[in-house]
Amino acid sequence: MSAAASRPWVRILAPIVLGLLVLALWQGAVVALKIQPFVLPGPIAIGTQFGLRAPFVLNAALITALNALIGLVIGTVGAAIAAAVAASLRVLDELSAPIVTAASVIPIVSLAPALYTMFGADAQTARVLIAALAAFVPVYFNTLRGLRMAAPIHRDLMRSYAASSGQALRAVTLPGAVPYFFTGVRIASSLAVISALIAEDFGGPIKGLGTAITTAVSSSNYPLAWAFVLGAIITGLVFYGATLVLETAATWHRVSA
Amino acid sequence: MSANASAAPRPSTEPAVEIVGVGKVFPGRRGAGVTALEDVSLQIEAGEFVSLIGPSGCGKSTMLRLIADLDAPSSGTVNVFGKPARQARLDQDYGIAFQQAGLLPWRTVRENIELPLQLHGAGRAARRARADELIELVGLGDFGDKHPDQLSGGMQQRVAIARSLVESPRLLLMDEPFGALDEMTRERMQTELARLRAETGAAVVFVTHSIPEAVYLSDRVVVMSPRPGRIVRLLDMRLGSAQERTDALREDEHFFERVSAVREALHGDAVASVQGKEAR
C-alpha cells in the first residue's frame, strides 16, 4: 500500500477518481431518490447551467474577484505597514493589541450595512473595504510574528559584526519575516473572497456572485444558483492557489540551519 | 596570574585576550541573581589555541560571550588585543562560530560567507573572490550556490567556520562548534580546524564538553567548575605544532596521558599530578 501511495500518478489520480465517484453517487442519488432541485440539483443539471451561462458566471465572478483582489491588496499593504510600525514601537503594539485582537473576532461582513450607509450601496467602496478589513487581520498577525522571530543566534551574529539596526533589519529581520507575511496573505486571500461575496448579500445593485446566487434562488432557478456557487468555489480556489504559489516561492530553502 | 611563562617562540605581540577579575551575575527572579562567573582571570596569547572545558553551568560559554562583547561583565575587565572587548568588537577583531551554524537559510553558501564582508562594505567582486577562497579552504568546492537546507549538519558547520574566518581575524571564538555533529564528522572537523588554525595563525578560544577534543586541538586547556563558574586549572597540552596534529596523534601515548590529566582536573581528583598550573 505504501509503495503504491508513493507513486506520483497514484497521488494525482486517486483524488480525481474519488471526486468522480462522489459526483456519480450524487447524480445517482438525485435520480434514484427523486430529489427536488430546490433541495439539491444533480451535478449534471448544475454543470449544464454552468456551461450555458458561462459568460454570466464569469462576469459575476470577475466583479466579486476584483473587489476581493483590491481589498486583499489594500488590507495586505495596510497590515504590513501596521505590523512594521508595531514591531518597531513596542508601546504602539501594546496599545493596539487589544483592538486588533477584538477586530479579529468581529464577523467583518456584518459591518456591510453600516458601510453601505456610509459609502452608498451602489459603489464598490464598501465591499472592497470589507474585503480589506477581513484580509488585514491575518496578514497583520503573521507579519508581526515573523518580525519578532529573529533567532537569538542571528541577533548575536549581527551584534558580533557590529551591524547597525538598519543593517540587521535588512539582513535578518525582514527576510526572516517574508514567509510569515506570505502565510498571512494566503489565509487572507480566502477571507477576502468570502467577505466580498457575502457582503453583496446585504444589498446593492451589484452583478457579483453573491447577488447572482441570491437572484437565481429567488427566481427558483436552483441549478443556476449552484452554477454560481461553483463559480464562487473556483474563484476562491484561484485566489488560494495563486497565494499558495507565492508562499511556496517565499518559503523555498527556508528550513532553518 | 600565570601568563604562561613558557610561551615559546611567538611574536611578542600583546595578548589576544586578557581577562582580569571578571565576574558575571545574571539577574534572576525576586532579585536573586545567578552567578555565572566569579573572579576569573585568564590571559590568552596571540596565536594560542585555548579550550575552555567544564560541566554545564560552569560559565564557559558566558566567558566566550564576554570576550565577544555579546554580554557585559558585572565586574572586572575583558581586553582583546589590548582594547576593551567592546572596542574590539566594533573593530571586528574576532570571528565567531556557535554550536548551531546560524546560517541565513535564504542565502546561498557563498552569500552566507560573504555576509560579514557585505555588512562592512566590501565590494562585490572582492567579496566573491574571498568567499570562493574560503569555500575551497573548508572543502565545499561544489556547494557555493547551494542553500543551507541542502547541506548536512557538518557541511553547514563548515560554512559557519568559513564565515567566521572570512575577515581573517586574529582571534577566533568558537562555542562548541562541533557539539551537534556525530563523532566521525566531529573528528574530521577537528583535524580540519587544526589545519585551518595552522594556516591562519589565529588565536582560538574554543568552548567544548569533550575532553579528547580539547586535548587534541589545544595548546592549553582551561578546566572550569560550576556554581559559581571558576577556573580550576590551566593545563599545558603542547602535543606538537598544529601541522603535526594528525589522526595518529589521537592514538599517541602523550595524548592519553593529557586526556587523563584533564579528566582528573575536571573531577577534582587530588591525584591530578603533572604540570598543571593552579589558576589562582
Q: Which residue has the higher pLDDT, A74 or B132?
A: A74
| pLDDT, position A236 | 92
Residue in A161, A178, A257 nearest the CB of B101:
A257
Nearest to B53 by CA among B216, B181, B198: B216
- Going across the sheet that includes B83-84, the strands are B34-44, B17-26, B75-80, B83-84
Inspect the interface and report whether the beta carbons of A254 and B106 lie closer than 8 Å.
Answer: yes
pLDDT grade, residue A74 (50/70/90)? very high
Name every chain A residue with its beta carbon within 8 A of the beta carbon of B68. Answer: 160
User: How much is the ipTM here?
Assistant: 0.79
Name every chain B residue with its beta carbon within 8 A of the beta carbon of A163. Answer: 119
User: Which residues of chain A have a Cβ shorter than 8 Å from any chain B Cβ?
Assistant: 151, 153-154, 156-157, 159-163, 167, 171-172, 175, 178, 253-257
* Most confident of the following: A110-114, B4-8, B84-88, B107-111: B107-111
Angle between helices A209-218 and A222-251 (to 10 degrees): 160
Can you tell me the distance from the alpha carbon of A185 to that of A240, in angstroms, rounded to the nearest whole number?
9
Averaged pLDDT of chain A? 85
pLDDT grade, residue A241 (50/70/90)? very high
Residue B136 lies in a domain: yes
| Residue B106 in contact with partner chain A when CB distance is under 8 A | yes
Inspect the interface and report whether the beta carbons of B102 and A167 lie closer than 8 Å.
Answer: no
pLDDT grade, residue B151 (50/70/90)? confident
* Cβ neighbour number for residue A234 with a 10 Å cutoff: 15
Judged against a pLDDT cut of 80, whether residue A248 lies above it is answered with yes
Judged against a pLDDT cut of 50, whether residue B5 lies above it is answered with no
Give the domain ranges of chain A. 1-35, 42-251
Name every chain B residue with its beta carbon within 8 A of the beta carbon of A253. Answer: 105-106, 147-150
Judged against a pLDDT cut of 60, whether residue B69 lies above it is answered with yes
Please give the tally of structural domains in chain B: 1
Name every chain A residue with its beta carbon within 8 A of the beta carbon of B70. Answer: 156, 159-160
Min Cα distance B113 → chain A (Å) is: 12
| pLDDT, position B275 | 41
Burial class (CB in 10 A: 0-12, 13-18, 19+), A102: exposed
pLDDT grade, residue A21 (50/70/90)? very high
Residue B111 lies in a domain: yes
Nearest to A236 by CA among A54, A15, A63, A65: A65
Instruction: Name the residue range of residue B154's domain.
Output: 103-168
In chain A, which residue ranges form alpha helices assigned H by DSSP? 2-5, 8-32, 43-52, 54-88, 90-105, 112-119, 125-147, 152-160, 165-168, 174-199, 209-218, 222-251
Q: Cell 436552483 maps to which residue?
A: A222
* Per-position DSSP letters for chain B, written without gaps between them: ----TT--S------SEEEEEEEEEE--GGG--EEEEEEEEEEE-TT-EEEEE-STTSSHHHHHHHHTTSS--SEEEEEETTEEHHHHHHTT-EEEE-SS----TTS-HHHHHHHHHHHTT--HHHHHHHHHHHHHHTT-GGGTTS-GGGS-HHHHHHHHHHHHHTT--SEEEEESTTTTS-HHHHHHHHHHHHHHHHHH--EEEEEES-HHHHHHH-SEEEEEETTTTEEEEEEE---S-GGG-SGGGGG-HHHHHHHHHHHHHHTT-TT--TTPEE--
Judged against a pLDDT cut of 60, whether residue A119 lies above it is answered with yes
Phi and psi angles of residue B208, each rounded to the nearest 5 degrees, phi first = -150, 160
Name every chain A residue with its beta carbon within 8 A of the beta carbon of B106. Answer: 175, 178, 253-254
Inspect the interface and report whether the beta carbons of A254 and B105 lie closer than 8 Å.
Answer: yes
Inspect the interface and report whether the beta carbons of B116 and A172 lie closer than 8 Å.
Answer: no
Residue B164 lies in a domain: yes
Q: Which of A5-9, A93-97, B74-78 has the lowest mean pLDDT?
A: A5-9
Q: Which of B60-74, B165-179, B212-226, B261-275 has the lowest mean pLDDT?
A: B261-275
Q: pTM (2 decimals)?
A: 0.74
Fold of A42-251: MetI-like fold (1.10.3720)
CA distances from A141 to A135, A147, A191 (A): 11, 10, 14
Residue B58 lies in a domain: no
Residue of B nearest to A168 (CA): B119
| Residue B119 in contact with partner chain A when CB distance is under 8 A | yes
Inspect the interface and report whether the beta carbons of B104 and A154 lie closer than 8 Å.
Answer: yes
Mean pLDDT of all residues in B186-195: 84
The secondary structure of residue A237, as a DSSP letter, is H
Cβ pairs A/B, distance under 8 A: 60
Residue B119 lies in a domain: yes
* Cβ neighbour number for residue A23 with a 10 Å cutoff: 15
Mean pLDDT of all residues in A161-186: 87
| Residue B86 in contact with partner chain A when CB distance is under 8 A | no
pLDDT grade, residue A76 (50/70/90)? very high
Judged against a pLDDT cut of 70, whether residue A205 lies above it is answered with no
Q: Which residue has the higher pLDDT, B254 or B218?
A: B218
pLDDT grade, residue A20 (50/70/90)? very high
Inspect the interface and report whether the beta carbons of A255 and B105 lie closer than 8 Å.
Answer: yes
Residue window 31-60, chain B: list those with CB within 8 Å of chain A.
Answer: none
Inspect the interface and report whether the beta carbons of B149 and A253 lie closer than 8 Å.
Answer: yes
Residue B108 lies in a domain: yes
pLDDT grade, residue B113 (50/70/90)? very high
Residue in B90, B104, B147 nearest the CB of A172:
B104
The secondary structure of residue A156, as a DSSP letter, is H
Inspect the interface and report whether the beta carbons of A257 and B120 lie closer than 8 Å.
Answer: no
